[in-house]
Amino acid sequence: MAIVEVKVPQLSESVAEATLLQWKKKVGETVAADEILIEIETDKVVLEVPAPAAGVLAELVVGDGGTVVSDQLIARIDTEGKVAAAPSAEAAAPAPAPTAAAVLAQAKNMGAVAMPAAAKLMADNNLPPGSVTGTGKDGRVTKGDVLAAVASGAAKPAAAPVSIPTGAPTKVLPQVSAPVVAPDLANRPEQRVPMSRLRARVAERLLQSQATNAILTTFNEVNMAPVMEMRKRFQEKFEKEHGVKLGFMSFFVKAAVHALKKFPILNASVDGNDIVYHGYFDIGIAVGSPRGLVVPILRNADQMSFADIEKKIAEFGQKAKDGKLGIEEMTGGTFSISNGGVFGSMLSTPIINPPQSAILGVHATKERPVVENGQIVIRPINYLAMSYDHRIIDGREAVLGLVAMKEALEDPARLLFNI
């Protein structure tokens, strides 16, 4: 039997560990070379692990939800296409006690364990292992099984909660001593789901940003009529020529770069006691995805055409939806743009994306009454909000920078003449 090992791909230096999501093959099933076996979630991206060779999946060393590190063995493939039905003579010989990892893998293959969410729910209700009958795949215990057992009283809490001593590994699920049994749970269900690594990382970075930056936000309103008229005038020709629709985001990117050139401090970052001025313009575009907020980067946005920007943003959106964004596509960035307007947001105060020092928040464009030349008229107005790190950016530069963006949007010809 020729065995090929399946290992975790090399993770980036900033990623210490990752989580296995769900195996796409069972032990004993055939696999093709380069067929995706499982996805691995880091705090930045989701990586796919292909089969290094064709054959039969002989063993799963780490099951669904397991924590892994770079180059760790997670499965074995028999390239001869046969899996022994009975233990070999070598396996039958006396051997040292199996490791905890081997026992866990064996238990999972037998369906003798609870799914991660179910295990967490059992811990919250102080239910010992084996107290809930599993109805899931291969006899695994699901969240529904635990909820039903708690509601019916079929599962009994452990006699005494197990306390976690100081210094114990953080991966041990805590046992909650207080009862969490609701008599009407069936009519008022709750679901406890662990944060994904990406969501936990986003939360960490947002807290870090608020804790380390002196965040202040300045606002301005923009009459979007000139941009809307230009877009309407050239939309059809633009799409025919470039194969992509002309959206509003390319205008916001161009206006932002225009302002950053005038006020380089908005494009800078803090490194210790130093201010780093960047001579390039890498604009992060905040994109929502099923797994959380991601910010892919438009590299050298100042050198990109409107068509280049629109194509790249469309590509980012599709990759985010499919979970295909690479680490290199989300690394770096000197300034960010967050467009809450696509969801209907009227006004917000965006949080800076470290180590950047400023971020532009774009919102929904709505018709509003404004005063022009002493007359009340109706105009499509968008409220812009720019949050900035007051440690290095003074109010003057922040306000004038946002005004420069406003002027570029209200008179797009300024972008052509750089004025």
The catalytic site residues sit at 390, 394
Task: Give me the pLDDT at residue 151, please.
Answer: 72
**What is the CATH topology of the domain spanning 3-109?**
OB fold (Dihydrolipoamide Acetyltransferase, E2P) (2.40.50)
Residue type, 264: P
How far is the C-alpha of 213 from the C-alpha of 357, rounded, in Å?
8
Task: Write out the residue limits of the CATH 2.40.50.100 domain(s) in the chain.
Answer: 3-109
Task: Write out the residue limits of the CATH 3.30.559.10 domain(s) in the chain.
Answer: 198-417
Task: Give me the pLDDT at residue 106, please.
Answer: 47
CB 333 within 8 A of CB 282: yes
The architecture (CATH level 2) of 198-417 comes to 2-Layer Sandwich (3.30)
According to DSSP, the residues that pair with 285 across neighbouring strands are: 337
Task: Give me the pLDDT at residue 239, please.
Answer: 95
**How confident is the model over 169-225, as pLDDT tens digits?**
444 444 444 444 444 566 788 888 888 777 787 788 889 899 999 999 999 999 999
How far is the C-alpha of 409 from the C-alpha of 415, rounded, in Å?
9
In the 8-state DSSP scheme, what is residue 36? E
> Which secondary-structure segment (H or E) carries 271?
strand 269-271
Model-wide pTM > 0.95? no
| 91-107: burial string, b at 16+ Cβ within 10 Å, e else | eeeeeeeeeeeeebbee
Q: How far is CA 247 from CA 99, 229, 366, in A?
A: 57, 12, 16
Q: Report residues of the chain scoring pLDDT below 50.
A: 84-112, 161-183
| Cα of 160 vs its chain's centroid, Å | 39
Q: Helix or strand or coil: residue 203?
A: helix
Task: Give me the pLDDT at residue 358, please.
Answer: 97
